[in-house]
Structure 1
Amino acid sequence: MIVAALLYLVVVSYSSDTKLTPGDNTHISSLTDTVTSTAKEYTLTADRNGRLDIDNRRNTYRPGDVLNLKGNFKSVSFTNMNGSAEKPIIIRNYRNTVVKIGEPNWNGGGYSAACEFSNCHYIRFGGESDRNMIVINGSTQQAREAYRQLQIGNKTDNIEVCFLTITNGGNGIVAKTDPIKGDKSTAYPNTTINNLLIHDITITGAKNEAMYIGHTATYWDHTVNQPYYGSPSKFTPGHDYVQPVKWKNVKIYNNLISNIGLDGIQTSAIDGLEIFNNEVTHWGTQRNAAHNGGILIGGRTTNTNTHDNYVHDGWGEFCQFYGSGENGATHIISNNLFADNQGDGISMRGTENAIVKITNNTVACTKGNSLRINGYTGMKGKQIVSGNVFIAPNGGTGANIRNYVYVEEGGDATEGVKNEENKKFETLLAAGVNPAAYYHPREGSSIGAAGYRRK
């Protein structure tokens, strides 16, 4: 952890009409907490072209220093910034002033990222006190899908990003290291990038993914410069294949994501992933069936925990799982509220016989199945499914028993019994829940202790 101080959060207000109330154990960090009396402070402004480009190869900025951004910037770029675990370099807004970064009129060409970190380590970037103090505004033009609002790349790690508002553009946050031909340090397992915290951020209006965390390619074929998703047994002879670098220890929490073209929170190639206390709504607005997850636990992920999230009112699937069971990896999807969509609810297609504990979730009002488990890619073991509440699958009309827990292609599940029984209802009325109160059971409901409980 690169957080030097932990506070307790009672209420976080994202906007005037949307509020999320995490539990008492939710932690945040203020960018004022780690500033020591010996820290050097610098005030940074844009050049005459409206940009800030800093290459710290000469170590002008050192561990513990504070860089205050002042004014508006078309783009901001940091390269070779190195703090330490005890003294991260802090980059924030100048005292009590709002900083705006980005180029809404960008329509192709250079400077395709509003804010970028390259080969940086032990960094804390975000607003001094709340998410309205640094605003990153992406492109609104025809070419916007190629624009990235916040890019974390080229082996950047041990970084915390927080208290930001990110709007429009293509991707809200991209955090991955791309393989470079001839550079072995950009391939796995030669390098692992560690410790990423993303929290207390609002992302709205991105045309692509709100968050693109980790490299999605199973392999990268340097010979043709393209991703490869098949088996090594089918490599093209003579081609140069590598696996992209993986993240280790990623936490994504207390974020509000809305009006997103593709996936909400997309993750891949991570060992040790926790996604919690996020709200995702109105994702998948492009209606692209290949990119429609509210929360996506992608390929090459191991040891994941997805809990206490609220995903609702979107076109695509609430939660998609493609994680791996390699080396005995564990996976948990627990105490999430998934409500109102136009597809399946939780969709499972893991690899390496991944086993997922799917417990105490409420999945309500899906157009398709509440839970769909597909064993085609090697997830053949029995998934642990207990204490969930499944309400009104199949559009709430004529639900078949298979619409609650649907298994196919060799997929399988063990459902809980007695106190851990899954509760299944054809309609909201039969469930006896209050949708206006996070689907909490009304008096007289037979749900009992099953399903989501807001903490």
Structure 2
Amino acid sequence: MTVIEKTGWRRTKLLAPVCSFLIAANFSFFQLQAQTAFLAVDAAIAVIDGSAAPYNIVQPGDTVYLMAGTRDKLLIRNFKGTAGKPVTFINKDGIVTINTNSYYGISIINCKYIRFSGQGNSNDFYGIQIKKVAGGSGMGIGSRSSDIEIDHVSIENCFIGGIYAKTDPDCADLVSRNNFTQFNTNIHDNYIANAGNEGLYIGSSFNSGIKLTCNGKDTVVMPPVLDGVKIYNNIIKNTGWDGIQVSSAPLHCQIFNNTILNDSQAEVQNQMSGILMGGGSKCDCNNNFIKDGKGDGIENHGLGGNRIFNNIIVNAGLTYLPNDATQMKHGIFVSDVSIAKDSAVCIFFNDIINPKSDGIRFQSVKSKHNLIASNLIINPGNYNLYELDNTSFSGKDAYVMIPNAVADIQLKNNFFSRTIASAGISATDYTILPGSPLINMGYADNGAITIDFRNQRRLVGGLYDIGAMEYDSGIDTLLHTFNEKPLLYPNPANGTLIIKYLSLTTKSLAVNIFTSNGSSLLQRSNFITVPGIQQLQIEVSHLAAGIYIYSIHDGNQIFSGKFLKF
């Protein structure tokens, strides 16, 4: 059944269709405001078509409620919002669950300016949960869809991928980069686990062309490109192939604040990485945590002109054929697959710990003026291979391997060691310890990077520190930022977690702590009686080690982010 109501203003406030956020900040910020209309769609409805009654009354800025309950699958098509007034699809009255044997869980086709959100209930971090897609992918965004935002959706147990967001040409629609651009693909605050292929597959991997045979005639079509990609705050676990793959995205592309665990479990060659920036891409890749995958930590096969910084990569490829040193996997791998001539790749402030083979393997010779600076690289597996076997390399080449001497690269102020202890960082959370040789030893020309892995300011003191985290990030000097985002510390936490933020009025406050897959662990309410800087103390010592999510609701806005417990 579909229920329709059209009003000037609703008595209660809804999530706005567009979220605002600070780039590379480990939180999300949503403004709540009234809507002009809403439709309520129950769980029996499988197709929501904006060109057919009753949905053809939906206008830009309207909201379509997905009522709580279990569905088989859901197709959304032919909806058009505007840049300032997207059409919002959001859960209501509880969790929307999808469990299907079909080839998709949710499909969004021929839509523009859409927000699809699972944040309809403050007690459920992932209000839309795809539990199983036996024959395909969790979500698909295609058929010339553009300007799409996906947030607070949990996707598990998909035969193929988690989320696919691309439009490929076929004989029925020879869409190409000459007649369509996919703008503003915004995927954040989602949970993806146990996807058979990629966790996120964004943009075509055939950047140089797709060969089609239509009516007996062969033709090569250049697939559309993406302008505006933001992939952030997602948690991705146990993928068969790459954790995140972004290709054909040459403009305004960012991949940040994602957590990727156990990628590439299917061990399919050329499909093995935590994050892959594929052909035709130019993406900044920063503040990601990648651990225990069987593939390379980060692969860069794009156009160049991008930065890779503030990432923590642990045990990349270490469990992939561990007794076969010829099957190499690296912390960061850079190639010439689609590099633009004379462009540069800059690799700054990363922690690369225990990679199977090389810390950084830089195989690009077409790029120029590349810079690898202020990185911490610990215990690359190829050290003994190069040092002891009959090769032309020495053990130190395993930290940054440059196979071709003509490559144009500068190495500045990196720290290389066989052990974590000698680097002076914690073996559990990788924070810099007092007296560490990393402190104040970073390279001065840092590429305009002003934050560290924890989104705390860089620089502290007179000089930069090496690695993903600055030592003592100066909590008390950051009070001016509280009107933009909450400040959470220590992160990682062990005993008490402190959250500070600025409130200019008296208001009700609710704090929620969730597991990484969205299960609620703690709910706390408070009332702010005195405006100003607020400090919340939350006891987390009883929590098991792992990744957790927090959210703060203060009446008309929502802040959320991640923290680590060790």
After TM superposition, is the score higher than 0.5? yes
Shift of 1:183: 3.4
Instruction: Answer yes or no: is the 8 Å Cα contact 1:380–1:410 preserved in 2.
Output: no
Please name the residue that 1:6 is paired with.
20
Please name the residue that 1:207 is paired with.
196
1:322 to 301, 305, 314: 301
Instruction: Flag structure 2 segments of 5+ consecutive residues without an equivalent.
Output: 1-15, 319-328, 388-394, 440-464, 474-566
Please name the residue that 1:336 is paired with.
311
2:333 to 343, 347, 357: 347
Please name the residue that 1:233 is paired with.
none
Q: Is 2:169 the counterpart of 1:179? A: yes
* 1:384-414 deviation digits (Å, cap 9, x = unpaired): 1011111110167576111011112466253
* 1:95-129 deviation digits (Å, cap 9, x = unpaired): 3x1110231xx2xxxx4111000010111101124
Shift of 1:274: 0.3
Please name the residue that 1:84 is paired with.
82
Distance in 1, matches of 2:346 and 2:291, equals: 21
Instruction: Answer yes or no: is the 8 Å Cα contact 2:21–2:28 preserved in 1.
Output: yes
How many residues were matched structurally? 399
Letter in 2 for 1:53: V
Instruction: Answer yes or no: is the 8 Å Cα contact 2:273–2:293 preserved in 1.
Output: no
Change (3 A) 1:447 1:27: closer
Instruction: Answer yes or no: is the 8 Å Cα contact 1:6–1:27 preserved in 2.
Output: no
Which runs of structure 2 are paired with 1:32-431 in the superposition (5 Å)? 33-36=32-35, 39-47=36-44, 51-58=45-52, 59-70=56-67, 71-95=69-93, 97-103=94-100, 106=101, 111-127=102-118, 128=120, 129=122, 130-139=124-133, 144=134, 146-169=135-158, 170-181=160-171, 183-184=173-174, 186-217=175-206, 218-223=208-213, 239-270=218-249, 271-302=251-282, 304-325=283-304, 330-341=305-316, 342=318, 343-350=329-336, 351-353=339-341, 354-375=343-364, 379-394=366-381, 400-409=395-404, 412-417=407-412, 421-431=413-423
* 1:205-234 deviation digits (Å, cap 9, x = unpaired): 111110000011121111289xxxxxxxxx
Q: Is 2:450 the counterpart of 1:450? A: no
* 1:33-68 deviation digits (Å, cap 9, x = unpaired): 2442xx211110233xxx511221253322111111
Change (3 A) 1:262 1:187: same
Shift of 1:289: 2.7
Describe the SS at the equivalent of 2:422: helix
Change (3 A) 1:75 1:411: farther
Distance in 1, matches of 2:299 and 2:108, equals: 29
Describe the SS at the equivalent of 2:108: strand
Instruction: Answer yes or no: is the 8 Å Cα contact 2:17–2:88 preserved in 1.
Output: no
Instruction: Answer yes or no: is the 8 Å Cα contact 1:89–1:122 preserved in 2.
Output: yes
Instruction: Answer yes or no: is the 8 Å Cα contact 1:380–1:411 preserved in 2.
Output: no
Instruction: Answer yes or no: is the 8 Å Cα contact 2:18–2:115 preserved in 1.
Output: no
Change (3 A) 1:335 1:132: same
Distance in 1, matches of 2:103 and 2:85, equals: 31
Change (3 A) 1:5 1:317: closer
What TM-score do you get using the length of structure 2 for normalisation? 0.66
Change (3 A) 1:116 1:338: same
Describe the SS at the equivalent of 1:179: coil
Distance in 2, matches of 1:74 and 1:149, equals: 12
Instruction: Answer yes or no: is the 8 Å Cα contact 2:383–2:397 preserved in 1.
Output: no
Please name the residue that 2:562 is paired with.
none
What TM-score do you get using the length of structure 1 for normalisation? 0.82
Deviant stretches of 4+, over 3 Å = 2-8, 395-399
Describe the SS at the equivalent of 1:402: helix
RMSD of aligned alpha carbons? 2.4
Structure number with larger C-alpha Rg: 2
Q: After the TM superposition, which of the residue ranges 283-292 and 55-64 deviates more from structure 2? A: 55-64
Distance in 2, matches of 1:274 and 1:137, equals: 28
Shift of 1:277: 0.7
Change (3 A) 1:391 1:413: farther
Instruction: Flag structure 1 segments of 5+ consecutive residues without an equivalent.
Output: 9-21, 226-237
